[in-house]
Structure formats: structure tokens, C-alpha cells
Amino acid sequence: MGIDKQDTARPSLGLIGFGAFGRLVAATLVDHFDLTVCDPGYVQATLPDGRLCRMGTLADVARLDVVVMAVPVARLHHLCTTLAPLLSPGTLVLDVGSVKVEPVAIMQELLPDHVDIVATHPLFGPQSAKDGVEGHKVVLCPVRGQRLRSVARVLRRLGLKVIVECAEAHDREAAMVQGLTHLIAKVLVGLGPLPERMTTASFDLLREAVGMVKDDPPTVLHAIEVANPYSAEVREAFFAHADTLRAHFDADRERNPKENPTA
């Protein structure tokens, strides 16, 4: 059974987690699936347009056609342990984590053999996709079963650009793409308010990039910088190049002390 049914009966989808990204997932999929939300932290699941989503228990969503786990990577092991005995045969399970090696290993180990698994990473968030997901990218990593093409078709109908890659290759690229973006953003935010008046076009783009990620919850930064097995290597290379530049500038200042206004 695919997830892109062509008849009048829409496939059912259970969304676990109604945080900032979970709400974006719900708003994107509510018109395409019979949606049920599970999040004990919410009395009701309200979409940005004011519509209410049906809410259910973990057991309720586990027996649906598709289950999307929109929870932090740090909570995935516990969730999969609890969810596993509740899942119906043939269910398709997806995650939306910012890293893939660890979540794929967790899902392969803990979820029953009778469910299909596709690991996903939407390369956007509530800020960058505030006007809709069309035109944005999403990565799909095959894990178990033959449903990846079906998932890709549905996502392309939503206007998303689909990239299929293995978990290891994803994390290697994400360590630089996301790791450096969030690292630089954290450093710039720590320097204080960014200038807004005398700015260049390139600085405006940098400030825009910082604005997209500066309010991400700590769980996102943890996933990107700690859970990704390749992030430490990228960080060390970045700091090493920064130290080389600093040493170069310090040497120039020592050779030309008159050009140093504090000398």
C-alpha cells in the first residue's frame, strides 16, 4: 500500500510531536491526509489558520497508514521503544531529524520488521518555510521496505525538491551545511545586535541566514553539532583555519606596528 492513494479515501497519517516543526508538518499535510496529532503537551492542536486537528493517543496514531515522528533526535530512542509494540503491520514510519545516521540505526534496531521505514530530513524550518514549503529541499534515506518512491511522489506534489541519499553521505554534507551555519550564527549572536544601517548586500544575506536559525531550540543545535558523527571534524577544521588567519593577521601587525592604531 502506498501513501499517495488516488481514490477518494485519503490515507491516514499520525503526527507525533506538535512543536514548531510539527505544526509546519501538520499545516503542510492536513489537506492531503486524514491527520491525527499526538502530543501530550497540547490540549488541542491548532494550525496557523485557526483550524483544529484531531488529537489522539500514541496507540491511536500507531495504527494509522503513516506515522511521522516529529520529535528531537535525543527523544527518538525512547519514542521508538514505546511505539514499536503498538505499530500495525504495513505502517510506514518516517522521522524528520536533522541528522540521519543515529536515527536510522535507532529505527532499524527498535521498530518491528513488519513496518516500512523512510528517514527524512526537510532542509527547511518554520522560519525559512513560513510562506510555504514549495521550492524547498527534502532528503530521503531508504531504510526498510519499498515505499521510498511513493513518499518521493507525494513530496514532489507538494512542490518539494527531493534528494535521495544514504544516511552517511547526508550527515557528512550536513556537518558543513548545517553545522557551520549554526556555529557561525551562534558566534554572531553572541557578539551582540547585528548592524542594520550601514550594511552591504553580503552582510544582509548573512544577517538573514542568522535570523533563520538563531531561534531554533537547543535540541536542534544538539542534533546538528553533537549527534552528527562528522560535525566535530568540520568544527575542528573551521577553527584551525580561523586560527591560521588570526596568526597571519597578528604577524602582519607585529611587522607593521605603525599601522596598528593602538600601538
- Cα 110 to Cα 185, 203, 222: the distances in Å are 35, 46, 22
β partners of residue 141? 119
Same domain, 21 and 138: yes
Residue 1 lies in a domain: no
β partners of residue 119? 95, 141
Q: How much is the pLDDT for 1? A: 45
Residue 209 lies in a domain: yes
C-alpha 102: how far from chain center: 14
Same domain, 178 and 141: no
d(CA 21, CA 158): 17
Residue 3 lies in a domain: no
Same domain, 186 and 161: no
Residue 15 has which C-alpha cell? 503526527
Largest CA distance in the chain: 79
Rg from Cα positions in the chain: 22
Same domain, 191 and 154: no
Same domain, 112 and 18: yes
C-alpha 202: how far from chain center: 26
Same domain, 149 and 179: no
Same domain, 38 and 111: yes
Q: Where are the alpha helices (DSSP H) in the chain?
A: 20-29, 58-62, 76-83, 101-110, 148-157, 167-190, 201-213, 218-222, 231-255
Q: Rounded to 5 degrees, what are φ and ψ at 21? A: -75, -35
| Domain containing residue 144 | 12-165
Same domain, 140 and 247: no
Residue 50 lies in a domain: yes
CATH code of the domain containing 73: 3.40.50.720
Mean pLDDT across 62-82: 97
Question: How does pLDDT run across 211-236, given as a tens digit for each residue?
Answer: 888 888 888 888 899 999 999 999 99
Q: Which residues contact 207 (CB under 8 A, 6 or more apart)?
A: 194, 196, 199
Q: Which residue has the cell 558543513?
A: 176
d(CA 42, CA 170): 32
Same domain, 130 and 59: yes
Neighbouring CB atoms inside 10 A of 155's CB total: 20
Residue 6 lies in a domain: no
Q: Which of 142, 165, 188 is at the close of a domain?
A: 165
- HSE at residue 155, side-chain half, CA atoms within 13 A, is 24
Same domain, 250 and 133: no
Question: How does pLDDT run across 155-203, given as a tens digit for each residue?
Answer: 999 999 999 999 999 999 999 999 999 999 999 999 989 999 999 999 9
Residue 134 lies in a domain: yes
β partners of residue 14? 36, 67
Same domain, 194 and 93: no
Q: pLDDT class for 80, splitting at 50, 70, 90?
A: very high
Question: How does pLDDT run across 2-52, given as a tens digit for each residue?
Answer: 566 544 579 999 999 999 999 999 999 999 999 999 999 999 999 999 999
Q: Which of 165, 181, 200 is at the close of a domain?
A: 165
Q: How many domains does the chain have?
A: 2
Q: Which of 165, 183, 214 is at the close of a domain?
A: 165
8 A C-beta contact, residue 106 and residue 144: no
